[in-house]
A and B are shown apart, each in its own frame.
Chain A
């Protein structure tokens, strides 16, 4: 419960810029993570700004296939888009994606 909660907009910009996700406008933002031109899985994130709820962040973390530390790294910058793609390629190789 003590983990860091991010700002909704921070999550949106990180996913949009690093993972090149094209979010569809709506009540909430939804978009597919594509690797090698194939839709792999979907992200759903809340609109607006302000701290995200703990349960919603957990759902996004699950969608991203990252643990808490790597998810923080993805939002806070050390984990770049290409590095994330490589992690996902690893999952593809293990038949998990």
Chain B
């Protein structure tokens, strides 16, 4: 059967598996006709194209899945303002602008200028944690010896002094 031999050369193993699910001896004219194919070169071309398209669809589907996963896990970032420190000892002279980063598993409230952040499962938890962090850092910097502090911690202290007021 020279046609079959030509076919074998032209089409890939996957394509052959599609045509010969039960072995090539069982390939009948009826089977090919049922798919609208003839025993000619057009069979191989049609099949190869079909397989290429199917592979492309698979790749695209994987890319869509990756993008969907990236978008779902991507944090939602928004601005917010602190007006109070939840403390009797300290209050704010001015509002503090900070960022809220909502991830699927955790929320982060961060004040990037002084490199502190609060975290929690929910937004209120993260904000409360940030308030505690502000006070912790302020107290730590106030009690540190100035000569022990580097350029950045000194700057943080200046910023915190501008916004925090100790209550009498």
Complex alpha-carbon distance, A40 and B101, angstroms: 26
Give the distance to chain A from B51, nearest Cβ to Cβ, in Å.
29
| Top 4 closest pairs, chain A to chain B, by CB | A40-B150, A38-B150, A55-B103, A55-B108
A: contact size bracket: 10 to 19
Question: From DSSP, what is the main secondary structure of chain A's interface residues?
Answer: mixed
Inter-chain pairs besides A42-B153, A54-B105, 7 sampled, C-beta below 8 Å: A37-B148, A54-B103, A55-B105, A56-B108, A63-B115, A97-B150, A97-B151
Cβ–Cβ contact B69 & A53, under 8 A:
no
Cβ–Cβ contact B152 & A55, under 8 A:
no
Say yes or no for B70: interface residue by CB 8 A criterion.
yes
1/0 per position for A68-97, CB-CB distance to B under 8 A? 000000000000000000000000000101
Cβ–Cβ contact A55 & B70, under 8 A:
no
Please give the number of chain B residues whose Cβ is less than 8 angstroms from any Cβ of chain A in the complex.
25
Give the distance to chain B from A53, nearest Cβ to Cβ, in Å.
5
Complex alpha-carbon distance, A49 and B21, angstroms: 52
Give the distance to chain B from A31, nearest Cβ to Cβ, in Å.
11
Tally of contacts, chain A with chain B, CB under 8 A:
55
Cβ–Cβ contact B149 & A39, under 8 A:
yes
Cβ–Cβ contact B150 & A59, under 8 A:
no
Q: Which residues of B contact A (CB under 8 A)?
A: 69-70, 73-75, 101, 103, 105-108, 110, 115, 117, 119, 133, 136-137, 144, 148-153
Question: From DSSP, what is the main secondary structure of chain B's interface residues?
Answer: mixed
Cβ–Cβ contact A40 & B110, under 8 A:
no
Q: List 10 A-B contacts (CB under 8 A).
A: A1-B70, A1-B73, A38-B149, A40-B153, A41-B115, A41-B152, A54-B73, A55-B106, A56-B119, A59-B117
CB neighbours (8 Å) of A37 from chain B are: 148
Give the distance to chain B from A40, nearest Cβ to Cβ, in Å.
4
Scoring A39, A40, A55, A62 by chain B CB atoms within 10 A of each residue's CB, the highest score goes to: A55
Complex alpha-carbon distance, A97 and B153, angstroms: 9
Contact of A39 among B106, B107, B144 (CB under 8 A): B144
CB neighbours (8 Å) of B153 from chain A are: 39-42
Scoring A1, A30, A37, A38 by chain B CB atoms within 10 A of each residue's CB, the highest score goes to: A1
Give the distance to chain A from B63, nearest Cβ to Cβ, in Å.
14
